[in-house]
């Protein structure tokens, strides 16, 4: 099952990276490429979620649950994977519900903020998974500079939680302002 997990994780990572790029292009650039990015975003997000679910299921079968929970790195990897899945699920719902208006007004900035945050989350997830597979990366050095030791820490530094709360409040405020402007 380990090999299957290693193969499957590349699908959500690739689709999430593509979706993040599509959101940035759709939100920040004019023209045909931006239109195509906005039109094709929802299928890419749906495919990313299907790939992520398959990767998470196979990942949970690699080792017994007791072994997974005994390792801080595995716990962080699972936590980051679930946070990434939750964030991109939220993006998928926002794009699906808003339809063509997903990139109008303040909504575009909500998508950009969420996509960039998601990019950091899936990069962290992949880095931790790489460490578990014996393929370390330089990204873990950046994590260490933020106060997060990938081998032992099982928590989110306080500043990360504060930033997440601020992003959540900013997204909520943008949503309320956009809704009021639409009326």
Q: Express each pLDDT in 28-87 by its tens digit.
A: 998 999 999 899 999 999 999 999 988 888 888 877 778 777 777 788 888 888 889 989
> Could you tell me the pTM of the whole model?
0.78
Cβ contacts of 127-134, under 8 Å, gap ≥ 24: 128/73, 128/76, 128/77, 128/80, 129/9, 129/77, 131/73, 132/73, 132/74, 132/77, 133/6
pLDDT at 156 over 80: no
Q: What is the model's pLDDT at position 47?
A: 94
Burial of 93 (0-12, 13-18, 19+ CB in 10 A): exposed
Q: Are 150 and 131 in contact (CB under 8 A)?
A: yes
How confident is residue 1, by pLDDT bands cut at 50, 70 and 90?
Answer: low
What the block records as the tokens of 156 is: 């989110």
How confident is residue 155, by pLDDT bands cut at 50, 70 and 90?
Answer: low
Burial of 169 (0-12, 13-18, 19+ CB in 10 A): exposed
Q: How many Å separate Cα 85 from the centre of its chain?
A: 6
- Provide mean pLDDT across the span 2-19: 84
């Amino acid at each position: 099952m380990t090999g299957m997990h290693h193969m499957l994780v590349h699908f959500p990572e690739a689709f999430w990276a593509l979706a993040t790029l599509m959101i940035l292009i759709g939100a920040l650039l004019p023209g045909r490429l931006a239109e195509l990015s906005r039109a094709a975003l929802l299928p890419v997000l749906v495919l990313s979620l299907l790939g992520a679910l398959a990767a998470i299921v196979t990942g949970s079968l690699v080792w017994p649950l007791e072994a997974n929970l005994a390792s801080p790195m595995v716990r962080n990897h699972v936590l980051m994977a679930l946070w990434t899945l939750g964030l991109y699920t939220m993006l998928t719902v926002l794009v699906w519900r808003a339809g063509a208006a997903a990139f109008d007004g303040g909504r575009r900035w909500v998508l950009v903020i969420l996509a960039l945050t998601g990019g950091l989350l899936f990069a962290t997830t992949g880095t931790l998974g790489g460490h578990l597979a014996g393929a370390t990366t330089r990204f873990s050095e950046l994590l260490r500079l933020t106060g997060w030791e990938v081998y032992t820490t099982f928590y989110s530094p306080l500043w990360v939680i504060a930033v997440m709360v601020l992003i959540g409040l900013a997204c909520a405020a943008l949503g309320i302002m956009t809704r009021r402007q639409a009326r």
